Amino acid sequence: MKIAIGSDHAGVEFKKEIAEWLVANGHECKDMGPYTEESVDYPDYAHKVAKAVASGEYEQGILLCGTGLGVSISANKVPGIRAALACRPEFATLARQHNNANVLCMSARFTDSATIVTTLEHWFAADFEGGRHQRRVEKIEQCS
């Protein structure tokens, strides 16, 4: 699977770990920045990743910022994106199963490395269930 990843300055170190995990697990990964811990504005990188996913160039995206809130709000401004903040691994599972989320957002300041890996495992193990959830996703899309 082709995955676009991005962050703000708070997420740079975790982003490197995520990229390594993705490649080790058979995914193609594109780091859309930033590449240093110098202060940047999270919407710039959230929009890059979200637009790459919305265009179909990448199948899914992963974003990090200090809390994960800013990147999730920013990514969700792009039509066709359903970005979900996963504070726990179970949130990642449900975001995929029930919301057909296509961008995973995580906190770089309030999450540890082991939880990030477990969250990634849950995200990639889950599939959209469709059914009654399809109707709800269609209603979300009508708001774009």
Q: Between the CA atoms of 93, 96, 99 and 102, what dihedral angle is there, to the nearest 10 degrees?
A: 140
Q: Is 112 exposed, middle or buried (0-12, 13-18, 19+ CB in 10 A)?
A: exposed
- Round the average pLDDT of the chain to a whole number and report it: 96
Q: What is the pLDDT of residues 92-130, one digit of tens each?
A: 999 999 999 999 999 999 999 999 999 999 999 999 988
The residue ranges of every structural domain in the chain are 2-142
Q: Say how far apart CA 134 and CA 68 lie, in whole Å.
A: 26
Position 144 scores a pLDDT of: 61
Q: What is the pLDDT of residues 57-81, one digit of tens each?
A: 999 999 999 999 999 999 999 999 9
pTM surpassing 0.85?
Answer: yes
The catalytic site residues sit at 65, 98
CATH architecture of the domain with range 2-142:
3-Layer(aba) Sandwich (3.40)
